[in-house]
Chain A
């Protein structure tokens, strides 16, 4: 049994979303043309989340992907809350005051963010009051702390990440009288999420990354070819610096037990994450919270389980690594994606596929037989692949969908194989996770003309 191409398309396109930035939003000409995003679940329900929003009180646009683990609660919460924390961190003192005064006097609030959401990207209504109060406490502290200095984006990002994670932790410790909310904040704290967030303002691109999602810049070389530039470092066992950092933060006696089987304490793949209080709280705190928590929590073996060799918490941080990049005209697009994509595709291929898709030019190197030994059958196979590649480009209206199609359907020739695609998409729920991970992708397209103009101004 195979899915028909329309069936495949309806699965692939179910979560696709595109946003085109108005050429002139009244304040400035945007360096972002727009973005395409999409996600393909492997877990049921999906544990990845994505967010995109335009900052209304400052310049810039925020985009992020969040890869949840041990459930989706933390990723969901981060996807709802993180951008508010960032936006607030970026706000000048006067604006913060204005907002606080408005809240105080019950006036209408200045809108902070304009969200660009797919209908499936929900906000939890029940927790909004709780989340708002935590956020308000944050900006009140920022008002009190008024340094008088202009806000540095890097600092704002780091502060926002750390603050949100600490709020998540606190909310779980304090609990909530409402039992639903009480259970929710605990689930958020006990599950975890990575975050890879981009802030684009003019030619300034900041990537704040926590965990093993990845940001990659697509660069068009002078000869028209595409290359990839990494704008984030994976926080996992493959990253020597991360391993080094973790080891530095703990006594030498733990050196051997810190990273086992490429996992933190032999358990966790990402070395940085939101939530995951099991890797942050002391054993006592964990036990106390679990015991006083609702029954569902107590019944959950995972929450009760204390990681082995757990001596000097915290072992985990949500502090992001921030990379700043000044956009150049040759920087055509940015891909933010969870590890589900990067596990299956090399960044160079991602750059090429998206680049060819976005430029609409499907320049394939002409084939020349030259002195090679090629049979008719081999040539036929190769040509069929190349045709399929072109036709798959025309099938998708969304660069992220196009990437997912390749990520899931690519065969050894690097071209989409419908049979394979169909098989991968029709796997039963319980098997899907074994063959692929949740994939979430945002492709941001830059406006080279605007970027070029910015450059000339300077």
Chain B
């Protein structure tokens, strides 16, 4: 009924406002007395074909047309706004923990607010505000963290007391609340009407909209989209945008060359009631009670309330398709716990009469973040899907970024956290998706503490040493499907309770990681780092070197056996990837990059390398097990195992050599550790992995060797001010901005990508600067720990956000890394950030609303480096993902 209501409302408005479009598209929104006009025929070609007439498809069309692209066709298999969009609860909420999602939601809110004025289509936009409730202190902390990031973006937001909650919303039972967050500018809107308004505007700008047209598949030739096949004929196109919502996965797999879009639908329930006796005001704020797993908004004098239950019901796993989403079965028993939560929150509603329980599918993704971007395998194939039930909040901003991406080649913000290329084929299994979304949907409401891990879809990719390490007490996390050790629980110590680790304060692994760090500093540790992405690039002639010299900013024309740290930059000088490249021979290179670069880096290289059969790019990630030997005694262990001198004279830093270790030959040994500590990484053909590991552990015993995990590695790299890609570095950060000028060879005698921008920055300065902060008055035991995303204040003014943080066991202080900007005090304009600007400020880091004094540094503590630093050879790289 709700859907129908929205539907009817929009139909009426539509006909009144836009007869032209109706005629053109042959839309069938007419009463039974009117004869149906035949549908307009499809064009033979278009520049862009968008599949999906929901909020996302119309938003992409709207923004593309605004950016001046006109030759666009939008295809909808049913009717506009008839899918999930039709059932959307209509809440526009900006309180999002991920910064880029927050920005999208903020933009959407502003867009929807003026949409009615722009298009003449009533959207029902109503600024009601929203209240997010906290039943626990931990929940309040997480709300305070969000409030901090909203505030520095200029979005009004307040942490309020339970009493204030009652003033804002008289129906709320506040007795079990410890506080709440109030976002006064959050809004309600009819998502179907927003979609129609966007379609209206797009249509006015020349976008052709065709309903009742299904895309059967997309044709791709030589890795480039060439057109779409529909049930009404073929359209040739350069760009295809898959906004098919819950059908995005099927559509991606329908062609000969599949495009993997890991989304899976779950049933989502919400309740509609009749009006209260004294109808609720339509300006009453929306209530989100994450601890009760529910949201409640006013709806036509009554309420609309839904939630994210602990036991979601995935659906369409087998890929059943249908034209429009039929209203699925209401399942009151399933909704029961949410109803209990609702009545607990608003006991006064007991006598309120039920109108309907709506069941509509929502698409979820494996990591709870939406999916956008270009397919890694098919150029021109763009995707915008998997909104994790926030399609309305993200729709405007997501459409804008994707339109920019299509038109400019890149969006105006760093969208890597949402990039389709963070996934590969490995996240595309239906079983994996089914299991993972059952975990993701409840997570919408679960408390997300630092370093939480997904529990489902695990143990997919593992090192050959997995069982050995697990037996020794390894605790695991997952990156790109690969199991990686966090730390090792020492034998005899009590098993750590998972729940105890769920804290915003000092975690229970603190001492364990501390002892691993100590061992790295004083003896030797071994960390299995097999998950890193490993490519080999080789050629018959000089093609490999020539192409790499263009794609990488450092000079790769180094003697054979040298290792080079270098950025893989885009034309704006930003990091597309950050790697270590070893020159194996004159004509072949071995490239190591972060784990989650496997798809992105591959696509980037494929797109930029010439189509030359004499130039071979190979992904050898699976071929090697990587053991990182960190510590002053690593050299002793390795030389005893190889009968080769490993001292700095024979094996200097940043060096690579194939040698034998134990019985195994052909081990690629590199004198890097990704931590700044002395040591080596051994790249071992996987069949030798167990042998080499056993030899290392046996030989290492007398040197005090032990296993260590990524948490120790992270602490080591952060205290030495090592940035890593994906966390600190992104496509919008240049080497100049993060103190890595020494990794850029502007004078290497050949042009490279991003060179111009870097030259310009070298001359004129940078607008942000990667800075290290040492927390001064922070009590490790008692205070909240920093995580990332904390606002940085300079002389009381906001200048940027942290990107990563760790406790330094050596400094006995927390270290935060982040970017400092220089906003003009009056205009807010970004100014050049100078060394003096950094050094002459008083800094504070805001952790959940509490500010801690911090000392800013542009260079690491030299005392932390065991080896003498030489400017060129210093290892400033680390890509252990978090």
- A-side residues, CB < 8 A to B, are 364, 366-369, 373-377, 379-380, 382-384, 386-387
Contact = CB atoms under 8 A, between A and B. Distances in A.
B330 A384 contact: no
Interface stretch (B166-174, B338-346, B712-720, B812-820): B338-346
Contacts of B349: 376-377
Contacts of B273: 376
Contacts of A367: 330, 332-333
A377 B351 contact: yes
Interface in B351-404: 351-357
B332 A376 contact: no
B232 to A, nearest CB: 38
B336 A387 contact: yes
Given A369-B357, A373-B353, A374-B354, A380 B340 contact: yes
Interface of B: 271, 273, 329-333, 335-336, 339-340, 342-343, 349-357
Nearest to B339: A380
Given A375-B350, A376-B273, A368 B339 contact: no
Contacts of A387: 333, 336
Interface centre among A366, A373, A374, A379 (most CB of B within 10 A): A379
A245 to B, nearest CB: 50
A326 B340 CA distance: 49
Contacts of A368: 330
Contacts of A384: 336, 340
A425 B103 CA distance: 61
Nearest to A369: B354
Given A369-B355, A369-B356, A386-B336, 10 more contacts: A366-B333, A369-B357, A374-B353, A375-B352, A375-B353, A376-B351, A379-B339, A380-B336, A380-B350, A386-B333
Contact of A383 (B271, B332, B350): B332
A376 B352 contact: yes
B261 to A, nearest CB: 33
B77 to A, nearest CB: 29
17 contacts: A366-B331, A367-B330, A367-B333, A369-B354, A373-B353, A375-B351, A376-B273, A376-B342, A376-B343, A376-B350, A377-B350, A379-B332, A380-B336, A380-B340, A383-B340, A386-B336, A387-B333
B331 A379 contact: no
A49 to B, nearest CB: 41
A9 B352 CA distance: 37
A369 B330 contact: yes
B351 A366 contact: no
Contacts of B354: 369, 374-376, 379
Contacts of B342: 376
A419 to B, nearest CB: 18
A237 to B, nearest CB: 43
Interface majority SS (helix, strand, loop, mixed), chain B: mixed
Interface centre among B273, B332, B350, B352 (most CB of A within 10 A): B332
Given A374-B354, A376-B343, A377-B350, A383 B329 contact: no
A366 B350 contact: no
Contacts of A383: 332-333, 335-336, 339-340
Contact of A376 (B329, B333, B339): B339
A367 B333 CA distance: 8
A377 B350 CA distance: 4
A366 B357 CA distance: 13
A209 to B, nearest CB: 40
Contacts of A373: 353
A93 B145 CA distance: 91
A380 B330 contact: no
A383 B356 CA distance: 16
B353 A380 contact: no
Nearest to A386: B333
Nearest to B356: A369
A393 to B, nearest CB: 14
Nearest to A381: B350
Nearest to B332: A367
Contacts of B340: 380, 383-384
B352 to A, nearest CB: 5
A367 B351 CA distance: 18
B273 to A, nearest CB: 7
Contacts of B335: 383
A380 B351 CA distance: 11
A387 B333 CA distance: 8
A386 B357 CA distance: 18
A373 B273 CA distance: 11
Contacts of B330: 366-369
A366 B332 CA distance: 7
Contacts of B332: 366-367, 369, 379, 382-383
A215 B347 CA distance: 47
Contacts of A380: 336, 339-340, 343, 350
A384 B336 CA distance: 8
A376 B304 CA distance: 12
A386 B335 CA distance: 12
B342 to A, nearest CB: 7
B341 to A, nearest CB: 10
A92 to B, nearest CB: 56
B306 to A, nearest CB: 14
Contacts of A376: 271, 273, 339, 342-343, 349-354
A366 B336 contact: no
A319 B333 CA distance: 50
A179 to B, nearest CB: 64
Nearest to A368: B330
Contacts of B351: 375-377
A366 B339 contact: no
A455 B632 CA distance: 84
Contacts of B353: 373-376
A78 to B, nearest CB: 46
A386 B339 CA distance: 14
Contacts of A382: 332
Nearest to A387: B336
A391 to B, nearest CB: 12
A373 B356 CA distance: 11
